[in-house]
Amino acid sequence: MHNKSLSELSTSLHNGEFTSVELTQHYLDRINAHNSELNAFITVSDELALQQAHAADLRLQQKTAGKLTGIPLAHKDIFCTQGIRTSCGSKMLDNFISPYNATVVEKINAAGMVTLGKTNMDEFAMGSSNETSFYGAVKNPWDINRVPGGSSGGSAATMAASLAPIATGTDTGGSIRQPASLCNLTGLKPTYGRISRYGMIAFASSLDQAGPMAKNAEDAALLLNEMAGFDERDSTSIERDVPDYSATLNDSLEGLRIGLPKEFFNDDLDPKIAALIQSAVKEYEALGATVKEITLPNTALSIPTYYVVAPAECSSNLSRMDGVRFGHRCDEPKDLDDLYRRSRGEGFGEEVKRRIMIGTYALSTGYYDAYYLKAQQCRRLISDDFKHAFNDVDVILGPTAPTTAFKLGDKTDDPVSMYLADIYTISTNLAGLPGISIPAGFIDGLPVGLQLIGNYFEEAKLLNVAHRYQRVTDWHTQSPDKFR
């Protein structure tokens, strides 16, 4: 059962080949068998999952079920889920039981899907390797001595090991696409505002965006159909009609204009990855696309810009977690100042503290203009680069990550080296554009991802371009031997 696509699972459920309860129990058994090795889940919601599966089976029997009714999924532990711990991978929220559901969770529950549990993640989504979690590092199913990427590494490992048929993730600087690349998955970051952020615990409010993590583009389109849409509770949500993302998957690519940014193919990129990306380009040319070199001249500004903007916003967002209303509280505080200092000191990990300090400094009197304001000006330059590029091309193509999955512990003592893992993904978040990573081959048994970037609200086009590539290649069908 765990090797079927969402469409195949849906057909089997509607035809009565197996029940949602049987399917859910199958995945719960796989989680029980493999999670201790991978550390992909923080919380497994067995009781809730089986309750939802029973309800889904009633809908299936009554012929009132939707396309995804009865299909299990895993949520990144950044989405509030009523009655279930929502920890954000942090000691600060280890005891937080959410009293409400995030809009994404509400919409997925309304579709009749089944929540298997909450996946591990870098603490408050701050990291590129899933090693900053309070609950320990997640292991990559392709090589358990390597990282799965981050911050959505738990969802990525869950999908790569087939512990769930589909999962949610969030992407602030590449946190869906980079782990998708390292784990041989399809990961989509939609346009900023396409999916509600209500109930998604904030890291950097102007950058965070939820999206699906799937085995292929067709599955990603099916989940995006349920996740997308306007939400009046989220002031950053865009009031815009949601198309059927599955309807145009098979459209012809004849005449599609693909741009290759010369800044993405530099000395930072592993030559073997560059060769695989060029092989993918030839496949697209065979499908009728035309390819040209383009320039995104301010790409080099993306990492310094991001690491001013994102820490500044996280400094503001995490100020509410002080041990007073919710979150970790230190034992026997002497006074209010001691409560704040020790609760935050004990509750936050090293990477979160580092970013809070950087962000607070950048926002402080005398430095705001020099750092935060300047970073926002650079952000506009980066956005303008994409605007100009899309006057000449329909889609931008390049690598997702500069390397394959690195070994656990390799970069934990070198934060700057870790930050460079997102060099090809960060600019998309700064501009608010949609991007997708799809499997493009292997190097020494480790997956390589291909990134496609589209213009605003052109997720359907990205999914179409990804799907047509996946129809003529089989990289996305391959899975780690141990977890088949």
How far is Cα 352 from Cα 357, in angstroms, rounded to an integer?
9
Q: What angle do CA 397, 129, 280 make, to 5 degrees?
A: 20
Q: Is 361 exposed, middle or buried (0-12, 13-18, 19+ CB in 10 A)?
A: middle
343 noted as active-site residue:
no
Q: How many CB atoms lie within 10 A of CB 410?
A: 15
Q: Which residues contact residue 209 at a Cβ distance below 8 angstroms, ignoring those fewer than 6 apart?
A: 170, 171, 172, 189, 190, 191, 192, 194, 195, 197, 429
Q: Write down the catalytic residue from 10, 20, 45, 76.
A: 76
230, 240 contact by CB (below 8 A): yes
54's tokens? 């029973």
Q: Write down the catalytic residue from 45, 129, 151, 343.
A: 151
Quote the longest CA-to-CA distance of the chain: 70
What are φ and ψ of residue 376, in 5° steps? -65, -35
175 noted as active-site residue:
yes
Residue 422 DSSP code: G
Q: Write down the catalytic residue from 175, 302, 343, 427.
A: 175
73's tokens? 């999924």
Would you mind telling me the total number of residues written for the chain in this entry? 484
3-state SS, 162-220, equals CCCCCEEEEECCCCCHHHHHHHCCEEEECCCCCCCCCCECCCCCCCCEEEEEECCHHHH
36 noted as active-site residue:
no
* CA-to-CA dists, residue 165 to 36, 236, 446, angstroms: 19, 29, 21
Which strands, in side-by-side order, build the sheet including 72-76?
Answer: 41-44, 114-119, 72-76, 167-171, 209-214, 186-189, 435-443, 446-454, 395-399, 257-261, 290-294
Which among 235, 286, 238, 293 is positioned nearest to 263, based on CA atoms? 293
Active-site residue list: 76, 151, 175
